[in-house]
Structure 1
Amino acid sequence: MNAPVKPIRSASPRTDVTAALVEGAGRIGYDQLPAPVVAATKRVLLDTLAVAWAAGDAAGVNAARALALRGAAGHASLWGHSGTRREPSAAAFFNGTLAAALDFDSLAGQVHADIVVAPAALAVAEQQRRSGRELIAALATGNELAIRLAAAMRTNRGFFHTSITGIFGATLAASRLRGLDASRTHDALGIALCQAGGTQQSHVEQRLTKRLQSAFAARDGVIAADLAALGITGPRAALEGPFGLFALFETGDPEQVLEGFGTRYLLEDTTLKRFPACGCSHAALQAAGELVARHGIGADDLERGEIVITPYMDRLVGGAFAPGANPQVAGQFNVRYGVAAILLRGSFGLPDITPEAVLDPAIRPIVNRLSVRVDETRTGTFAPADVIIETRDGRRLHHRVENLPGSPQAPLPEEEIYAKLVGSFTHGPSALTEARAEALIQRIERLEGVDDIATLFDQAR
């Protein structure tokens, strides 16, 4: 007979963190959101939609689409598929897959909150015929919760924080849009705990399940709200309990989630990605691009090169370049490939993560002349990174990037953000015309004026 399991003590002595969170979220409506938070919420939603729209032919998307289409018709749009609607959990799963597939989506702290929250919130908002103002409030509170949960964690044992925190943000947003009262929202967050999961093993093995984990969380957030609406009860101490999120997944301080909740918004510091690759590569990619632009070098000039990164970055992008099974994922999660692509082609964008580009025979010799060195003294997640190039004519060129490109410390220019939006909406099998892309961008920029979210994508059809 197994010995009884001893409860793990919560990092927080407070026993009502989840209840206080529900109460605080209930006081936040559109009118309580500061103007910069509204603007940030719309900007992140636009970025999420754009990179999802571009992902129609990414590996794994066809399987996600086939699964979604098996379900019953409903009221929630499958992004990029004119007139095709399914019930919300199926739509959230498919759209969550799209949003993550190109690894071009936004970063908030260490999590990709919106690729979980937006697919869930939009699907429920369409079903419930909610307004743009209601959607903005749900997105803001849902994203903020996911970001705060991750920020309060003190360890990173290998769980995929986007999934294990994102499901709570998706559940909160879906519960708001379903019109659940505080008690049932509280239950929904408990139901979310019972479904939470996600692992970085998919990252290190470069498997397609990496891009499905946010989709699972988006889908399950919708289901958690649905079950609570039907009367299913869930644990009440989902965050702070002896077997809650912080006790079982990552250690941290649940009370920190409440500090400034509703008055200070971490989502305002969301990073918009410059490159379609894991954020752990971006500082190195930026450094390589700076060297190419400054010194006019290319692949033919390379004698050897070294990329210096942190231990955490090495865990996700420092491994061997093995593109055979999943070329696109390998290209997105290998820093040597990314730097090699910049040396060979002068830049790193959506064309560089196609299977054809990753499997280009010209890339392997360049990758082989690049090495990765881990600086154990560095503790950063996404920066700093150094790229050192030794040229055939004897020069030694070095550049360091201290901050993640697109972050508040190194923001992208407005024209680059707009170019990314238009370029993504007009890319791939679901490509919009430039005029329709611009019309959709303008509609979301004026989202608070939309009376019925079910009409949101009319310009794209």
Structure 2
Amino acid sequence: MTLDKNITDALAAYIIDSQQKEFDSEVVHKFKRALMDYVCAAITGSNMPVPNSLLEYLKQIDSSEISSVTGKSMKLSPLNAALVNGTSAHSLDFDDGHTHGSIHIGTVVFPAIFAVAEQYSSSQEEFIKAAIIGYEIAGRLSAALHPNVWKRGYHNTPVIGIFGATAAVCVLLKANKEQILDALGHAGSFSGGLFEFLGEGADIKRIHPGKAARDAILSAELALKGITGPKKVFEGKNGFVRAFADNNINLERLYLGLHTEYEISKIYFKPYPCCRHLHGPIDGTLELLTLNQIDVNNIDRIEVGTYKVGANHKHKEVNHLLDAQMSIPCAVALALVYGEVSINTFEDSKVQSEQVQNLINKVDVTADERCEESYPKHRPAIITITMKDGTEYRQYVEDPKGESNYPLTDKELEAKFVNNCLGILTKDEVDQVLNAIWTFENLENLDVFYINSSLQTK
């Protein structure tokens, strides 16, 4: 196909133009919701094994003490703080996402701008604009390129997320258009992340957002130092679209509603700490339990139909937390046995219980034609439970709870924050952070979000 010859220039121009406008209160409210969900994910994930191991390594080589590490009483360089915080926020698979682009944006954009904003004492107004613009670039690019990047074995979150975070950092650094073009060019060379973690329980998946956040800062800083990058990184003969998507991009989606619609309004928030492809099957299963008297011990088989991308998450061998969080059979079995899916539900003792393991082996996941036709506009799933006596229960889910058209309310989002952060933070600290989020534009500074410097974590 013939590519638009001006993709990179058009996006750079958008980044410049958007800094001059005032975003309306509705868009700023969406920013606050995204911020709350990110901070929740970063705090709850900060004590998980992968970010802790990463931090132990970085402490040995980094004594710069510039940018805060969420949940820890210490600071690192902006690059390394972004790396750790992005990893923490993705360590429980509790972070926000964007269905059209199959990408986690918040865990790439927010770690990068928090680290840079602390270094340069950025204003609240600059921070808000940086976040909204970062979501815009990552959301539009990923939606225009999905599922083409995924089909080639790449993970959209680090591969495309880096461009959103780079744009956001450029806003904070007050980069001009030429520097933005260079920064996006650098991001194209730093872009990377394979989907090979799926089904292996490989820890590297947790690090993907942090890696992209770190490299986004580096991409922007190098550009401001005068190091040049390719000015047509997306559309060039050997550019990103060719290398990562085999020259397949939906240009109509890329530019649709530019300047009038905002991708930060299209993200979802997770009620369950696991891969988003599992949420439709979970919702359907829990709905069946609510509507019917189902004896899980008398289930003969369970069939889950969903779209092709989601159907890849059908593995039944679950030996690690990540395996469980990426497996539809495991999620459905846990929902049936425990009647809920929470952080505690994914404890290894529960996953490995005889009852759960027996049910996992009864779940078959297939690609359903009806569901495939709806994706990625929707994330549908069809759950059919057949009992040993032949009784059949079926539930169709068009979109799981948390999508922009079926959102978590502000109170539900607050409840997610409180339920998961309380115990890591005190009640007063939780209230302090929530108040700061809802009054963000009126804060004197951002210190409350640098958890280690103003709050004492438990």
TM-score by length of 2: 0.91
Alignment of 1:298-377 (within 5 A): 298-315=295-312, 317-319=313-315, 321-324=316-319, 327-376=320-369
| Corresponding residue to 2:118 among 111, 123, 126 | 126
Q: Deviations over 1:251-289 (max 9, x none)?
A: 204575344433321220111112111111111000000
Q: 1:419 Cα shift? A: 1.0
Q: 1:113 Cα shift? A: 1.0
Of the structure 1 ranges 283-292 and 57-66, higher mean CA displacement relative to structure 2 is found in: 57-66
| Corresponding residue to 2:412 among 416, 426, 449 | 416
What is the match of residue 61 of structure 1?
51
User: In 2, are the aligned partners of 1:152 and 1:252 still within 8 Å (CA)?
Assistant: yes
In the alignment, the residues of structure 1 paired with residue 438 and residue 336 of structure 2 have an alpha-carbon distance, to the nearest angstrom, of 37
In the alignment, the residues of structure 2 paired with residue 376 and residue 148 of structure 1 have an alpha-carbon distance, to the nearest angstrom, of 26
What is the match of residue 4 of structure 1?
none
Q: 1:170 Cα shift? A: 0.8
User: In 2, are the aligned partners of 1:12 and 1:253 still within 8 Å (CA)?
Assistant: no
Aligned: 1:18 with 2:14: no
Q: Structure 1's 255 and 339: CA in aligned 2 closer, same or farther, altered over 3 A?
A: closer
Of the structure 1 ranges 385-394 and 242-251, higher mean CA displacement relative to structure 2 is found in: 385-394
Q: Structure 1's 369 and 88: CA in aligned 2 closer, same or farther, altered over 3 A?
A: same
In the alignment, the residues of structure 2 paired with residue 44 and residue 418 of structure 1 have an alpha-carbon distance, to the nearest angstrom, of 11
Q: Tell me the secondary structure at the aligned position of residue 242 of structure 1.
A: coil
Q: Tell me the secondary structure at the aligned position of residue 190 of structure 2.
A: coil
What is the match of residue 165 of structure 2?
170
Partner amino acid for 1:101?
A: S
Partner amino acid for 1:12?
A: L
Q: 1:352 Cα shift? A: 1.6
What is the match of residue 140 of structure 2?
148
In the alignment, the residues of structure 1 paired with residue 250 and residue 113 of structure 2 have an alpha-carbon distance, to the nearest angstrom, of 27
User: In 2, are the aligned partners of 1:307 and 1:385 still within 8 Å (CA)?
Assistant: yes
User: In 1, are the aligned partners of 2:134 and 2:168 still within 8 Å (CA)?
Assistant: yes
Q: 1:397 Cα shift? A: 1.2
Q: 1:178 Cα shift? A: 2.0
In the alignment, the residues of structure 1 paired with residue 110 and residue 58 of structure 2 have an alpha-carbon distance, to the nearest angstrom, of 17
User: In 1, are the aligned partners of 2:182 and 2:231 still within 8 Å (CA)?
Assistant: yes
Runs of 4+ in 1 over 6 A off after TM superposition: none
What is the match of residue 86 of structure 1?
76
Q: Tell me the secondary structure at the aligned position of residue 443 of structure 1.
A: helix
- Listed as ranges, the gaps of 5+ residues in structure 1 are 1-9
Of the structure 1 ranges 368-377 and 344-353, higher mean CA displacement relative to structure 2 is found in: 368-377
Q: 1:434 Cα shift? A: 2.4
User: In 1, are the aligned partners of 2:58 and 2:80 still within 8 Å (CA)?
Assistant: yes
Q: 1:407 Cα shift? A: 0.7
Q: Structure 1's 277 and 456: CA in aligned 2 closer, same or farther, altered over 3 A?
A: closer
Q: Deviations over 1:45-96 (max 9, x none)?
A: 11011022111333422222223323123321111113x1111110010011
| Corresponding residue to 2:207 among 205, 212, 223 | 212
In the alignment, the residues of structure 1 paired with residue 193 and residue 103 of structure 2 have an alpha-carbon distance, to the nearest angstrom, of 12
Alignment of 1:179-328 (within 5 A): 179-250=174-245, 251-253=248-250, 256-315=253-312, 317-319=313-315, 321-324=316-319, 327-328=320-321
In the alignment, the residues of structure 1 paired with residue 421 and residue 188 of structure 2 have an alpha-carbon distance, to the nearest angstrom, of 35
Partner amino acid for 2:266?
A: D
User: In 2, are the aligned partners of 1:131 and 1:450 still within 8 Å (CA)?
Assistant: no
In the alignment, the residues of structure 1 paired with residue 310 and residue 182 of structure 2 have an alpha-carbon distance, to the nearest angstrom, of 37
User: In 2, are the aligned partners of 1:129 and 1:454 still within 8 Å (CA)?
Assistant: no
Q: Structure 1's 73 and 152: CA in aligned 2 closer, same or farther, altered over 3 A?
A: same
User: In 1, are the aligned partners of 2:46 and 2:89 still within 8 Å (CA)?
Assistant: no
In the alignment, the residues of structure 1 paired with residue 355 and residue 428 of structure 2 have an alpha-carbon distance, to the nearest angstrom, of 37
Q: 1:354 Cα shift? A: 2.8
In the alignment, the residues of structure 2 paired with residue 13 and residue 344 of structure 1 have an alpha-carbon distance, to the nearest angstrom, of 52
State, as a whole percentage, how many aligned pairs show the same letter: 28
Q: Deviations over 1:333-377 (max 9, x none)?
A: 111111111111110011122333323343211212222233245
In the alignment, the residues of structure 1 paired with residue 10 and residue 330 of structure 2 have an alpha-carbon distance, to the nearest angstrom, of 46
Partner amino acid for 1:248?
A: A
Partner amino acid for 1:133?
A: E
| Corresponding residue to 1:46 among 20, 36, 41 | 36
Aligned length: 443
Q: Deviations over 1:168-195 (max 9, x none)?
A: 1111111221232222222111111111
Of the structure 1 ranges 165-174 and 352-361, higher mean CA displacement relative to structure 2 is found in: 352-361
Q: Tell me the secondary structure at the aligned position of residue 32 of structure 1.
A: coil
User: In 2, are the aligned partners of 1:25 and 1:262 still within 8 Å (CA)?
Assistant: no
Q: Tell me the secondary structure at the aligned position of residue 410 of structure 1.
A: coil
In the alignment, the residues of structure 1 paired with residue 337 and residue 448 of structure 2 have an alpha-carbon distance, to the nearest angstrom, of 44
What is the match of residue 426 of structure 2?
433
Q: Tell me the secondary structure at the aligned position of residue 303 of structure 1.
A: strand
- Listed as ranges, the gaps of 5+ residues in structure 2 are none
What is the match of residue 3 of structure 1?
none
Of the structure 1 ranges 384-393 and 137-146, higher mean CA displacement relative to structure 2 is found in: 384-393
Q: Tell me the secondary structure at the aligned position of residue 167 of structure 1.
A: helix
User: In 2, are the aligned partners of 1:126 and 1:452 still within 8 Å (CA)?
Assistant: no
Partner amino acid for 1:23?
A: A
User: In 1, are the aligned partners of 2:186 and 2:229 still within 8 Å (CA)?
Assistant: yes
Q: 1:204 Cα shift? A: 4.1
Q: 1:408 Cα shift? A: 2.2
In the alignment, the residues of structure 1 paired with residue 351 and residue 172 of structure 2 have an alpha-carbon distance, to the nearest angstrom, of 42
